[in-house]
Structure 1
Amino acid sequence: MLRRVQDGDLPVMRQWRNHPKVRAASFTGHEISEGEHARWWSAVRADPARQVLIYEHDGAGAGVVTYSELGGERASWGFYLDLDGLERSGALLRAWVGLERAAIDHAFGPLGLTTLRGEVLADNEPVRRLHRRFGFAEVATYRMPVDGVPREVVAVELHKEEQG
């Protein structure tokens, strides 16, 4: 289940985002400060082209789903999970799959999208496999700087009529 972020969610969202494994798989790997997170949240809340939601697994917050470029039939998305909490409970794989399903359903349901796009670092094979499992096609590869270092990135897309 996805739900709107409440202000009380912000500290745990930042904690999840600052996990070393999440930072390593992100396009910005530095640790996010409280001030930087507050500025980001202020900008997101005011931007109708962006939406940030909490993924709940077994009744508890377990991850974050972000949508950007909203306003038409296509948008981009990203996510991260509460790796520590989900690993402790043994629910990481189930939550990962559940989040992806919930994000796709929300994109093609309430958001009314026809195409969902994303980007993943090329060496993040587990996420690439998960996206393929849900029908995403790898449509392009390119290099871009990530924390000042050129990295290979894979663009993925899923079309509503092709979802499994």
Structure 2
Amino acid sequence: MLRSVRDDDLPVMRRWRNHPRVRAASLTTHEIAEDEHARWWAAARADAGRLVLIYDHDGVAAGVVTYSGLRSETPTWGFYLDHDGLEESGRLLRAWIGLERAAIQHAFGPLGLMTLRGVVLADNEPVRLLHRRFGFVEVGTYQQDVDGVPRDVVAIQLRKGQA
């Protein structure tokens, strides 16, 4: 289930985003300070083209789903999970699948999108496999500097009805 972010979610969102595995799979890998996170949250809340939601798994907050470019022709999404909490409870894979399913349903349901796009680092094979499992197609590759290092990035896309 996806739900709105509450103020008390913000500290755990930052902790989850700063997890080493999440940072390693992201396009920005530095540890995010509290003031940077507060600025990001203020900008996200003020931007009508962005939406940030919490994914609840088995009634517990377990991840974050972000949508960007909602007012554009190329809406995108991203996510991250509570790696420590979900691994400790043995629910990481189930939550990961549940989050992806919920994010796609929300995109093509309440948000009314016809196409959903995203990106994944080319060497992040587990995420690429999960996206393919849900019907995403890899539509291009490019290089992007990630903390000064060129990294291969794969663009993915899912059209409504392909999921």
Give the alignment's TM-score, normalised by structure 2. 0.98
The question of whether the paired residues in 2 share the 8 Å contact of 1:3 and 1:55 is answered with: yes
Q: Distance in 1 between matches of 2:30 and 2:72?
A: 32
Q: Distance in 2 between matches of 1:61 and 1:119?
A: 24
- Equivalent in the alignment of 2:27: 27
**Count of residues paired in the alignment:** 163
Q: Distance in 2 between matches of 1:142 and 1:39?
A: 29
- Equivalent in the alignment of 1:46: 46
Q: Residue type of the partner of 1:121?
A: L
Deviation at 1:74, TM superposition (A): 4.1
Q: Distance in 1 between matches of 2:115 and 2:94?
A: 25
SS state of the match for residue 64, structure 2?
A: strand
Q: Distance in 1 between matches of 2:148 and 2:73?
A: 32
Unmatched tracts of structure 1, length 5 or more: none
SS state of the match for residue 75, structure 2?
A: strand
Q: Residue type of the partner of 1:38?
A: A
1:125 aligns with 2:103: no
Q: Distance in 2 between matches of 1:119 and 1:159?
A: 15
- Equivalent in the alignment of 1:93: 93
Q: Distance in 2 between matches of 1:21 and 1:90?
A: 17
- Equivalent in the alignment of 1:59: 59
- Equivalent in the alignment of 1:4: 4
The question of whether the paired residues in 2 share the 8 Å contact of 1:74 and 1:113 is answered with: no
RMSD: 0.8
Q: Deviation per CA, 1:59-83, whole angstroms, max 9, x where unpaired?
A: 0100000000002564100000000
Q: Distance in 1 between matches of 2:73 and 2:101?
A: 19
Q: Residue type of the partner of 1:107?
A: A
Give the alignment's TM-score, normalised by structure 1. 0.98
Unmatched tracts of structure 2, length 5 or more: none
Q: Distance in 2 between matches of 1:147 and 1:134?
A: 30
